[in-house]
Structure 1
């Protein structure tokens, strides 16, 4: 068993690097665009900083629509867009396109919820002191919501670590492709188990790091 795993260690290393590449790029895109979209959702929702019911309903519907797609269906549906953006629908970079499309509204909803968890009284106090809308967002909302935002990003990281394993179905590489190619097709349960172990370790590290930073930023736990 150990000999079989040892024989594919170089391939495990390559697959792990590919998974890291897909995950990091996806999280960066989701952080930038999903974070901005989540803040926008919070601002324009009814009874918020700049309520706009019509705009909120449109944004809310779009976010829900994209989130409702199972990732595998989305992966196939956006193949033309993927080809347009990166020039190909196959490969590690290509998979980042559907991963990002899926992750942006997912993170946006998590960000919106984290901001909603900020006590209304804190926001009202900032408004009473004459803080502008931008100041309220930068210096009050985002600061007070840090534990929730970090927790949201941790959840997103774990979800899309799992999603990267689907990349193997379209030749995207990564641990999912490795498990299929070297484990499933070759009937090697030991290799499959080793792959699962690597993914489990990733999840544990991500979750532990997230919990650590949540504790560091949560005023209620000090």
Structure 2
């Protein structure tokens, strides 16, 4: 075991965590309204708009169809424009966010569609506005499912960061490629994989527990 391994791993994990947090926040900002709009503009919903719904669905599908490594290359000019460089964790967060947003939007769409339409109709009958229905009916009722969906999104983004490491994003993925693979450092390769596995398991465990806690409290209040 090399003496430089621990500092490298700490730096790599810090960069990975930075990318995951930044990209997740940006993906929520982009994906949440997109997913909500797809639901409420669908047939028979509170803001029914078939044309807008088709456009939004097409945007999500087209964006999701790109392999992530290709999306990174396509978005290099945007990364350079926004952050002034195409290298590093911050630059990588641009394509990470854009790749994760439509994925998260679909998760949000599926979660909101699980909400009993009877509750939406009851809110409409009481004079609730579309915004009130979204904020006081759809999101609260689907909260546990949304948490599980966000957990899946975080895990997916973590996997994306490893791919981004291949083109200079930094993080554990870059460490595994540059040192573990190219320099035949098996200790680096094993350690990076172990850290990623532990991190993903921790995220999944936390998400599951939070979703169960939300479900218990909703049933108790209900």
**Shift of residue 190, structure 1, vs aligned partner:** 2.4
Number of residues paired by the alignment? 219
Gaps of 5+ in 1: none
- Mapping of 1:92-103 within 5 angstroms? 92-103=89-100
SS at match of 1:51: coil
Compared with structure 1, are the counterparts of its residues 132 and 221 closer, same or farther at alpha carbon in structure 2 (3 Å cutoff)? closer
Aligned to 1:213: 210
- Mapping of 1:167-206 within 5 angstroms? 167-206=164-203
The CA RMSD over aligned residues, in Å, is 1.3
Contact 2:96 2:157 (C-alpha < 8 Å) held by counterparts:
yes
Gaps of 5+ in 2: none
Q: 131, 134, 140: which is aligned to 1:134?
A: 131
1-side partners of 2:37 and 2:174: how far apart?
37
CA offsets 1:145-174 (integer angstroms, 9 cap, x no match): 101110110000000001001122221100
**Shift of residue 69, structure 1, vs aligned partner:** 0.5
The TM-score, its normalising length taken from structure 2, stands at: 0.95
Q: 143, 146, 152: which is aligned to 1:146?
A: 143
Aligned to 1:70: 67
Contact 2:69 2:164 (C-alpha < 8 Å) held by counterparts:
no
**Shift of residue 7, structure 1, vs aligned partner:** 3.4
Q: 40, 45, 48: which is aligned to 2:42?
A: 45
CA offsets 1:33-60 (integer angstroms, 9 cap, x no match): 2111111111111121111001110110
Contact 1:91 1:170 (C-alpha < 8 Å) held by counterparts:
no
**Shift of residue 221, structure 1, vs aligned partner:** 6.7
Contact 1:215 1:221 (C-alpha < 8 Å) held by counterparts:
no
1:124 equivalent in alignment to 2:121: yes
SS at match of 2:12: helix
- Mapping of 1:2-81 within 5 angstroms? 3-4=1-2, 6-81=3-78
2-side partners of 1:18 and 1:205: how far apart?
18
1-side partners of 2:131 and 2:88: how far apart?
40
2-side partners of 1:94 and 1:86: how far apart?
6
Pick which of 6-15 and 65-74 moved more: 6-15
The TM-score, its normalising length taken from structure 1, stands at: 0.95
